[in-house]
Amino acid sequence: MNNTFGTHVALTLFGESHGPEIGCVIDGLRPGLRVDEDYIAHRLALRRPGGPGSSARVEKDPFRIVSGVWQGRTTGTPLCILIPNTEARIGDYVNLKNTPRPGHADWTGHVKYQGFNDPRGGGHFSGRLTAALVAAGAIFLAALRERGVRIGTHLARCAGIPDRPFGDLETDLDALERASFPVLDEARGEAMKAAVLAAAAEGDSVGGVLETAVLGLPAGLGAPWFDTVEGLLSHALFSIPAVKGVEFGDGFALAELRGSQANDPFRMENGRVVTESNHNGGINGGLTNGMPLIFRTAVKPTPSIAAPQRTLNLATGEETELRISGRHDPCIAPRARAVQDAVTAFVVLDLLETP
């Protein structure tokens, strides 16, 4: 039960929000994969704040790869990425140790680590660490691309406003790779941004739903028990801060259907077994069936809000009012999309590499 995940391709995450550096070690990569630092920078930019009302804290993410790459290619030995925490402002967070933020890990982390954890900015629990996941994810996404596998995530709902559903997946994934605000319908995206700003103006925040498609997977990946594709993906996806639900294919809506509606009939298409519909999201019996892998995550509203909140003063045991200073994203779902792509790429690459 620790900060390493993965069967064959394994990732170890380390660092604290206000420590000198965060980073990760990736093990089990094939030797010879090209490592494109510009693409890593591009993916980090997709995670960076900058959407409507987003945190004014400019996070530049200069990163260094200190091992596992030689002459521009992976060596096959552990690859360590380091990202310095250059612009953190410590003063913003001084009052968190005794007055835990509702909806955050301040209190649970204090209990687990017996008060020794670094409380500044959430410490090791901080969303800041997802920068290392995104940097690693760029390497995974590029490795998958070489094998014909593509991944993209859109903001399917935000502040109650739906994006249009996925259509032609190749086209939609092309658009998402470039989009700074990850929607398929720009007009709906503008409506979402307005709703986010409206919440922010009230000192509040909103949530959303992120939907991901993975194209190009062969059939037969995964395992019947425990290491089902759903199980492995969800295990990793719940590490994305604020994710509180994961559903595959039609997910919870499947519970309302009849079997005759939910089953995806098999047929042959160009010599390949396909299913006519994809209610099961590309997975049967825990294994990929060769159809697009489709899933959604529920992202709760940012717990750090400007409006005053009630909490406890742990030192005195009294209730108190908490005002969170600093600037916080009123909706993290748009940025979380880069993390969801990264985490998905990690699990999918691991599935492909594990015999």
Interaction residues for its own copies, span 139-178 (CB under 8 A): 157, 160
**CB-hemisphere CA count at 13 Å for 37?**
12
Q: Which stretch binds its own copies (CB under 8 A): 7-15, 38-46, 139-147, 163-171?
A: 7-15
Q: Is 248 in the site for its own copies (CB under 8 A)?
A: yes
User: Do 249 and 278 meet the contact criterion of CB atoms below 8 Å apart?
Assistant: yes
Q: Select 177 or 198, whichever has its Cβ closest to its own copies.
A: 198
Q: Given candidates 52, 53, 281, 292, which one binds its own copies under the rule CB under 8 A?
A: 281
Residue 59 or 106 with smaller CB distance to its own copies: 106
- The answer to whether residues 208 and 160 touch, using CB atoms and an 8 Å cutoff, is no
Per CB under 8 A, the list member of 182, 208, 292, 334 interacting with its own copies is 208
Least Cβ distance, residue 138 to its own copies (angstroms): 18
Cα 260 to Cα 127, 226, 283, 291: the distances in Å are 43, 27, 17, 19
Cβ atoms of 213 and 341 within 8 Å: the answer is no
The distance of closest approach from Cβ of residue 41 to its own copies in the complex, given in angstroms and rounded to an integer, is 19
Tally of CA atoms within 13 A in the half-sphere of 32 that contains its CB: 2
Q: Compute the half-sphere exposure of residue 134: CA atoms within 13 Å on the CB side of its CA.
A: 26
Euclidean distance between CA atoms 283 and 280, whole angstroms: 6
Q: Which residue has the tokens 């704040």?
A: 49
Q: How near is the Cβ of 350 to its own copies at its closest, in Å?
A: 8
95 touches its own copies by CB under 8 A = no
Which tokens is 201 given? 């103006």
Q: Is 135 in the site for its own copies (CB under 8 A)?
A: no
What's the closest the beta carbon of residue 344 comes to its own copies, in angstroms?
14
Contact window for its own copies (CB under 8 A) among 46-54, 63-71, 89-97, 182-190: 63-71
Strands 150-158 and 161-162: antiparallel
User: In sequence order, which residues have a C-beta less than 8 Å from that of residue 58 and are 6 or more positions away?
Assistant: 49, 87
295-334 footprint of its own copies as x/- string (CB under 8 A): ---xxxxxxxx-x-xxxx-x--xxx---------------
Q: Return the residues of window 8-27 that contact its own copies according to CB under 8 A.
A: 8, 10, 12-16, 19-23, 25, 27
- The alpha carbon of 182 is separated from its chain's Cα centroid by a whole number of angstroms, namely 13
Among 188, 238, 326, 327, contact with its own copies (rule: CB under 8 A): 238
352 contacts 221 by C-beta, under 8 angstroms? yes
Answer for which of 42, 45, 50, 78 binds its own copies (CB under 8 A) is 78
Instruction: Please report, as residue ranges, which positions from 259 to 278 form the binding site for its own copies (by CB under 8 A).
Output: 259-268, 273, 275-276
Question: Interaction with its own copies in 105-124: which residues (CB under 8 A)?
Answer: 105-109, 111-118, 122-124
- Pairwise CA distance, residues 240 & 180, whole Å: 19
Closest among 207, 298, 219, 218 to 251, alpha carbons compared: 298
> From the list 41, 162, 227, 327, which residue makes contact with its own copies (rule: CB under 8 A)?
227
197 contributes a contact to its own copies by CB under 8 A: no
Kindly give, in sequence order, each residue whose CB lies less than 8 Å from that of residue 40, ignoring residues fewer than 6 positions away.
Answer: 63, 135, 138, 139
Q: Answer yes or no whether residue 216 interacts with its own copies by CB under 8 A.
A: no
Min dist. Cβ of residue 178 to its own copies (A): 25
7: Cβ contacts below 8 Å, ≥ 6 apart: 227, 350, 354
Residues 191, 230, 336, 349: which binds its own copies (CB under 8 A)? 230
| # residues contacting its own copies (CB under 8 A) | 148
